[in-house]
Structure 1
Amino acid sequence: MTQYCRKCGAELDDDAEFCNSCGFNLNSNLNEQKIKKFEHHTSSNKNEFVTKSPLILAVIGIIISIAEGLSTPLLLGWDSILIAMAVGVIGGVLGIILMEKFDEPLIAAIEFIATGFLIYTFIGRFGEIATILFIIAAVLALYLKGHHTKNKKLFAIPILTVILLFVLLIAGGAAYQINAENSVTVGNLTQNITNDGYGYYNGYITGDIKLDSNFDYLSVHVDFLDSNGKVIDSTIGWSSANPENGKTYKISALYFDQQNPAKAEIKVVDSFNDETPLYTENMTILTTSEV
């Protein structure tokens, strides 16, 4: 008696156990085979997703690093923001290439960790999500893909990424400092500090500041010192976010204290970094009496 395949309908020999056309096992249940095939397909998809998770997280990390950079306050400086975004993109892409193309999960993990570290170095908590994503991608790459290294010379990539970035940062910072110092002019400084006769000294120091470059944030700090050089009062005489290039602004620093100031130090500070002021000038205070 001629039999037919229950799966594809092909005509078969009477004693056939497998279909010559589609390979179906004639002794098995069709539904059971469909279920097993579906379960195998589902399991394969899950395994593939898990295996690709480091790649997925790295791609998301690249996108998030750009988004976090764009949302970082300008007070941190455009230099730091742009470097953080560049690191996220370049470091993330290099890590993906090392992991996927060269099959170097250990070196790729180091690259991801270095990328996260550098992002956090430049923009701190504003880049913490991208930093965490890159670190998780590194951990998963090691866990899922192993710790093997085929070409140890590729270790130079994450090392050079860090070294080159800091070399460029130092060189760029030095160039920026020189340009910024030459772009700030302070003039017309005057003082008017008086003894009011009631045990207090009060008054102000005024002046002008002219800018010949673009800045994210600038401020003028004025420290009043006693005769021994000790700071007795500090104030901000002027500050501005994104001040206009080519514009002259007025400085006005008020003083009110019981101690007689002997000197004043005027500093122009970029982005709150008063350790390396762009401009510094010292004035001797000559107080007058209102009595």
Structure 2
Amino acid sequence: MVQYCRKCGKELSDDAEFCDGCGFQLDENLKNNTQVVKQDSENKNEFVKKLPLILAIIGIIVSIAEGLGTPMIMGWNDILIAMGVGIVGGLIGILLMEKLDEPLIAAVEFIATGALIYVFIARFGEISTVLFIIAAILALYFKGHYTHKKKLWAIPILTVVLIFGILIAGGAFYQINAENSIEVSNITQDIKSNGYGYYNGKVYGDIFVGANFDYLKVTIDFYDDQGKILYSTIGWNQVHPDSGKTYKFEGMYYKEKQPIKAEIKVSDSANSETPLYSENITLTTESGV
């Protein structure tokens, strides 16, 4: 195939790379285009390799936002710990991945960070948890799964141990202080049989709050003669109750079965399994007919 010089127009052989008339390089544009495509490909690969870092940074930011958006009923201490874990754990993972070239240990740190966030604030930390786990997977995929210094494995282990150590110690101190700051008094019962096969009435009293709490609630559980819960109700709850103030609580009952016992519990979070205060009272049913 005959080709012509794009600069001077001279007829050239089909395999010519230079014009023998003016010296023009015939494939210069092709080489330039090839270099541009190659550069674009390298830039894209470089961006893709930065994804673990980008996701880890986003995970840190999101963990802070999620902590600030978590309802107070989850407990302010747990919220603060979750935010601290997101910041510190995320930064340690980035340091291990980018500066110390330890992608495997960094991945474990990211996974531990995400798991700890979920432990403390559950579904309110789902997005940051997922981001840290994806960052860990991509770190292993793009940067490898090797370890240079085995001693650095102590970092993710110490992260988990330290967090739970702080949680246990702080929780024990808080529990003792909180229990001593709650006083329940003037408990009164008024349960009657209405003569139509139903029992109705209420258990009520006072609760004194002697310290600052993010959230408090009073729950009243009504039991039958076999210890089975017939009905459970919240008699009072409040976010940031005033310290030094006495509040009224009241638990209503209306069921077919006669309640034999009532348990009054005071908790400082929506899902607390260890109440700050608990008291059982025997119920005396009167005829309301």
Q: Which bracket does the TM-score occupy, shorter chain normalised?
A: 0.7 to 0.9
SS where residue 214 of structure 1 aligns? Answer: coil
More displaced, 113-122 or 211-220?
A: 211-220
Q: 1:111 corresponds to which residue?
A: 109
Computed over aligned residues only, the root mean square deviation of the Cα atoms, in angstroms, reads 2.4
How far apart are the structure 2 equivalents of 1:199 and 1:139? 62
Change (3 A) 1:132 1:228: closer
How far apart are the structure 1 equivalents of 2:228 and 2:41? 73
**Conserved 8 A contact 2:67-2:82:** yes
Note the residue ranges of structure 2 that are not aligned, 5 or more in a row: 1-22
How far apart are the structure 2 equivalents of 1:230 and 1:131? 39
CA deviations on 1:78-100 (whole Å, 9 max, x unpaired) are 22221111111111100111111
Structure 1 length as normaliser, TM-score?
A: 0.83
How far apart are the structure 1 equivalents of 2:277 and 2:143? 54
How far apart are the structure 1 equivalents of 2:28 and 2:230? 92
How far apart are the structure 2 equivalents of 1:233 and 1:35? 77
Change (3 A) 1:125 1:261: closer
Q: 2:122 corresponds to which residue?
A: 124
Instruction: Give 1:257's match in structure 2, choosing from 249, 255, 259.
Output: 255
Matched residue type, 1:60 = I
How far apart are the structure 2 equivalents of 1:47 and 1:233? 61
How far apart are the structure 2 equivalents of 1:210 and 1:50? 58
Change (3 A) 1:102 1:212: same
How far apart are the structure 1 equivalents of 2:32 and 2:228? 86
Identity %: 62
Q: 1:99 corresponds to which residue?
A: 97
CA deviations on 1:221-276 (whole Å, 9 max, x unpaired) are 11223344333332222122332222211111222334333322211122233531
Matched residue type, 2:188 = T
SS where residue 272 of structure 1 aligns? Answer: coil
Matched residue type, 1:242 = H
Change (3 A) 1:161 1:26: farther
How far apart are the structure 1 equivalents of 2:224 and 2:126? 44
Q: 1:193 corresponds to which residue?
A: 191
Matched residue type, 2:254 = F
Q: Aligned pair 1:215/2:213, yes or no?
A: yes
Matched residue type, 1:138 = A
Q: 1:148 corresponds to which residue?
A: 146
Change (3 A) 1:31 1:200: closer
| Aligned positions, number | 269
How far apart are the structure 1 equivalents of 2:232 and 2:123? 29
Change (3 A) 1:196 1:37: closer
CA deviations on 1:90-130 (whole Å, 9 max, x unpaired) are 11100111111111111111111111111122222222221
Note the residue ranges of structure 1 that are not aligned, 5 or more in a row: 1-24
Structure 2 length as normaliser, TM-score?
A: 0.84
How far apart are the structure 2 equivalents of 1:147 and 1:226? 59
Q: 2:66 corresponds to which residue?
A: 68
How far apart are the structure 2 equivalents of 1:254 and 1:148? 62
